[in-house]
Structure 1
């Protein structure tokens, strides 16, 4: 219930900000780039970053010359590869997750050359490919979308450098929701949460 109230409050603040920004000329366009994702996984010997991507659209609505709101809608790959060593049995688990993410970020202008972004993100799980290779056998406890929670949420923050009409940015997305939803998923990833670092290029279309 507390999580639901936080989500409703966040969205109310977003819509309030958008109503103030209507008089401003919005800017926005398309963006995409590299994802370096991982999971916070319990009881594994090693965690390896998964290389992926994200791509989507954004708009930036300025409330004042120095402050605005930047909502986005992106497809983003997440997950990890993790080696296991359980009672002498060794192998590797691969977790490939695909989300539709909606960051809603406060934007602080550092002049015309740079922006600082910070705010919540909300994600919806649209695709899963999970498998195990090793002593437990290929495909052992292979999981599908029903084994994961459909919704993810967390905090995102980063920096963008502006070279109008192109921006180059760095961002980190810190998941706050446990992603396992079934006993089988919990056996493999425990209380794992998403963690994604991003490097991106944005093209201003306005």
Structure 2
């Protein structure tokens, strides 16, 4: 919780400085909101780590991306020449999905179709360098994310019946803070509406012990509005 407060305090300081700049001079500082969809996954030793988290099961899975959403606000601070600095704060859903067949312990003769969904929900603080050329935009920068919630939802069923449905709080098995890079392209319309596509590339190992080569990845598409 202390780390979360520090991250939010840092963003508040940036927003305050931007507001002072807006009132003090001709530079056009603008604020915005944006939201969209994530197609998230975990690259590396993710399948092995998630298999180990699903108590009472012993299965083989295929990894799939998790579809989630992101939403938040930004402040755009021009620095000249069509370039700007754009810090923001986002609620950011990541994780991944495994699907396959379970063999239940103590009932190995029974094979069940199952799914295990790892939901990692972050508060993300990107700081982007953005170039605007006409309406076209390109942006990139570092991102730090605080893990607000980590939950594993495991289900299994056979013959139309759901025989296993359990949720696990797995927050203690993941790093509270994740570092990465984000970048993408977009288009800004004259009325303030914009569209964008981006890619998040995690650089930090996500497990609490930092012993697994498992990293967050996500493709994003979204829309927004600048005021």
TM-score interval, smaller chain: 0.7 to 0.9
Q: 2:93 aligns with which of 77, 84, 97?
A: 77
Counterpart for residue 202 of structure 2: 175
Give a deviation string over 1:9-30, Cα, whole Å, max 9, x none. Answer: xx9xxx7xx79x9452111211
Bigger radius of gyration among the two: 2
How many correspondences in the alignment?
181
Instruction: Confirm or deny: 8 A CA contact 2:102 2:156 kept in the other structure.
Output: no
Matches of 1:86 and 1:43, distance apart in 2 = 18
Tell me which moved more, 119-128 or 77-86: 77-86
Matches of 1:81 and 1:160, distance apart in 2 = 28
CA root-mean-square deviation: 3.0
Are 1:166 and 2:211 matched, yes or no?
Answer: no
Give a deviation string over 1:27-75, Cα, whole Å, max 9, x none. Answer: 1211111111111142745221111100000011110032111111000
Gaps of 5+ in 1: 1-10
Query: Aligned-pair distance for 1:86?
Result: 9.4
Counterpart for residue 103 of structure 1: 126
Matches of 1:134 and 1:43, distance apart in 2 = 20
Instruction: State TM-score, norm by structure 2.
Output: 0.70
Gaps of 5+ in 2: 1-9, 48-60, 158-163
Matches of 2:62 and 2:87, distance apart in 1 = 35
Higher strand share: 2
